[in-house]
Amino acid sequence: MHKMQLRPSWQILLFLTCLVRLCNGSEILLLISCPRQAAEQCRTWRDNLRQQQISDKIPRDYDYAIKVHIMHELFNYWTLLDALPYLRGQTRLLNANTDWIIWCQHNTHVASLRGLLEQLHQRDAQELAYYGHALYDTEATIVHHFANYKDPTWFPYPMLSAGVVFTGALLRSLVELVALNAPNATRHSEFAIDAAHELARFIFDNIAPADDGSSSSSSSGSGSGSRSNNVDSNISISKDDNDFVDMLQRKIILKSADYICPWARVSPAWSLASLETTAAATAKESKPVSCVLHAKPEMAAGSAVHCVHTTGAHIYFAIKTCAKFHKERIPIIERTWAPDAIRRKYYSDVADDGIPTTGTGLPNVPTGHCAKTLAILQLSLKDINELTDIRWLMLVDDDTLLSVPRLSKLLGCYNHTNNIYLGERYGYRLYAPDGFNYHTGGAGIVLSVPLLRLVVQRCSCPTASAPDDMILGYCLQALGVTATHVPALHQARPQDYAPELLQLNAPISFHKYWHTSPEHTYKRWLGGALGNASSAHATAKDRRAAPLALNGLLQLPNQLAAGLEGSAKHLDL
């Protein structure tokens, strides 16, 4: 959809547009959302783009000022919605002259700046619109807060790593909405899980196209979006409804852009053999437009990194279980990834010599597990102190599936003597001063051994049933340790993620056996020959944690602790 073909008259049109706008003052803002440990990679990225700007013979018609900005100092740099106030605030990065904003990640690649400018030049920067590679859900999924559509498959959301292009008009409307009307704008959750989907829903729920249907009326360009007439996307919308087309006309959804692609030309090597071709990949075959923006596999060895040989024997696996699941779940782990995880221990409320499991001495609670998890970390540290050669601890659930070879390879590229905290990053209340990032438990949480020591010394639970993974994240953020996101780790099942995302980065974990065959999931996505395939390769430069600001045990502020108790039920699904 939305394919614009060049017609003979386009140059004339461009020429006229150019005269009207006097060819000056228009800006393109390119934002790179960059994890701190990839800072070097991001600077190279920026220099590369500047080089293209000079050498690429950009036609004078495309005379934009291009500003490139690397965002990696903010804890919420990874969600555009929460970073918006910053763009308008002190930095003044976004202003009335900004025609286009391109939101990228450190693994986005601009294959041709010239090609990109050609594409932008054909489009109306005054329209409330955004463009990207459209991803679709195959079913309602927890990672999208079970977006409550009768049919969730029609709703497009952008693949962030491929790059997303916004008109200045849309982004200025968003900024205004987030800044002034925040309490009234519809947010579905306090949790940031998939920033791309949450952004797409926020736009869908809160902004309506300008009245004339094509472009916004205000020429000043600020705040031209009308508020939507409060149609919540929670209403059940289905493709089969007669009003579906009507509804879409009153909404802003992502426009699929064929010049923005999920990968260069061929899909990443690891997946070629085994995966069904995605809709996107087939669509690409017949595509006339080349991919000027695309994603690269995360952590693809762009810069030379010092990686050390690491195997499953360097990793201590602490597996959280309870008596109820000894017979049901432990055998599944034993049949799948356990043989690669020599240093594994099952921690349970009940010690069972037949498996064996180790008792934590604490009763099981239905949710949260904070006390149990801290007890597990203490017991694990005792074990590790008596073993030689353990560099990492990975904490998982009894329904987590892993590829230990891929995990080992990834960890080998991080410096295990530093404080390293890896996992699938979620955010809680990132728009607020008390917000924080944390790694979600089911996907697996990795701590370097020095960091494990620090956690045991410094972190505590507000209550026994507080959500363990969130408390850990909160504590580590307070200690100045960054939550480093590993996109190959997954809190949910393969069917809960868009195929392109699974294809881009060879998966390391999945979680939950619900409506799946775990053995099948393991074989197809994590095990077999694929388990060894070269894949997720960290370019992480080791970073030092900020100096500790506090002494003694960290305590969660009471109010936040209470809020977390209330939200625990959302977390344990």
Ligand X SMILES: *[C@@H]1O[C@H](CO)[C@@H](O)[C@H](O)[C@H]1NC(C)=O
Kind plus residue range of the DSSP H or E element containing 88: helix 80-88
- Chain centre distance of CA 554: 28
Spatial distance between the Cα atoms of 75 and 478, rounded to a whole number of angstroms? 12
* 3 state DSSP class of 328: coil
CA distance 283 to 263: 13
Q: Which amino acid is at 225?
A: G
CB of 66 to ligand X, least distance (A): 35
Interaction of residue 176 with ligand X, rule CB under 6 A: no
Q: Does 148 bind ligand X (CB under 6 A)?
A: yes
How do strand 108-110 and strand 130-132 relate by DSSP bridges?
unpaired
Query: Judged by CB, which is closer to ligand X: 379, or 526?
Result: 526
Would you say 504 and 295 are in contact if contact means Cβ atoms under 8 Å apart?
A: yes
Q: Give the interface segment with ligand X, choosing from 75-83, 178-186, 369-377, 550-558 (CB under 6 A).
A: 178-186
Q: Given candidates 181, 189, 214, 238, which one binds ligand X under the rule CB under 6 A?
A: 181
Give the binding-site size for ligand X (rule: CB under 6 A).
13
Is 54 a binding residue for ligand X by CB under 6 A? The answer is no
Question: CB-wise, 232 or 434, nearer to ligand X?
Answer: 232
Q: What are phi and psi of 569, to 5 degrees?
A: -65, -25
- Using CA atoms of 11, 16, 17, 22 in order, give the dihedral in degrees to the nearest 10: 120
- Region of 63-71, 179-187, 315-323, 456-464 interacting with ligand X (CB under 6 A): 179-187
463 binds ligand X (CB under 6 A): no
407-441 burial code (b ≥16 CB/10 A, e <16): bbbbbbbbbbeebbbbbbbbbbbbbeeebbbbbbb
Segment interacting with ligand X (CB under 6 A) among 131-139, 176-184, 208-216, 419-427: 176-184
Closer CB to ligand X, 296 or 406, in the complex: 406
- Closest approach, Cβ 182 to ligand X, in A, equals 8
The smaller minimum CB distance to ligand X, of residues 226 and 415, is found at: 415
Q: How far is CA 79 from CA 104, 168, 416, 490, in A?
A: 11, 18, 28, 18
- Shortest distance in whole angstroms from residue 148 CB to ligand X: 5
| Stretch near ligand X under the rule CB under 6 A, chosen from 217-225, 348-356, 414-422, 491-499 | 414-422
- Give the nearer residue to ligand X in terms of CB position, either 46 or 453: 453
* CA terminus-to-terminus distance, the chain: 36
Which alpha helices (DSSP H) does 194-261 contain, by range? 195-206, 244-249
Binding status of residue 534 toward ligand X by CB under 6 A: no
For residue 178, the Cα-to-chain-centroid distance in whole angstroms is 21
**Least distance to ligand X, CB of residue 542, Å:** 5
3-state secondary structure 246-281: HHHHCCCCCEECCCEECCCCCCCHHHCCCCCCCHHH
Q: Which stretch binds ligand X (CB under 6 A): 415-423, 462-470, 472-480, 496-504?
A: 415-423
Q: Pick the piece of the chain touching ligand X (CB under 6 A) from 45-53, 413-421, 426-434, 480-488.
A: 413-421
Strand partners, 447: 393, 421
**Interacting span for ligand X (CB under 6 A) from 69-77, 157-165, 412-420, 558-566:** 412-420
Q: Which is nearer to ligand X, 181 or 238 (CB)?
A: 181
256: which strand partners? 132
| Close Cβ partners of 194 (under 8 Å, ≥ 6 residues apart) | 143, 144, 157
Cα–Cα separations (whole angstroms), residue 377 to 92, 274, 368, 373, 459: 45, 37, 15, 6, 11
The yes or no reply on residue 517 touching ligand X (CB under 6 A) is no
Residue 19 in the binding site for ligand X (CB under 6 A): no
Name which of 152 and 441 has its Cβ closer to ligand X: 152
417 binds ligand X (CB under 6 A): yes
Q: How far is the CB of 481 from ligand X (least distance, A)?
A: 14
Mask 542-571, x = binds ligand X (CB under 6 A)?
x-----------------------------
The nearest distance, CB 567 to ligand X, in angstroms, is 15
What part of residues 287-306 is at the interface with ligand X (CB under 6 A)?
A: 306
For ligand X, the closer CB: 17 or 415 = 415
The residues that touch ligand X, with contacts defined as CB under 6 A, are: 148, 180-181, 184, 232, 234, 306, 415, 417-418, 529, 532, 542
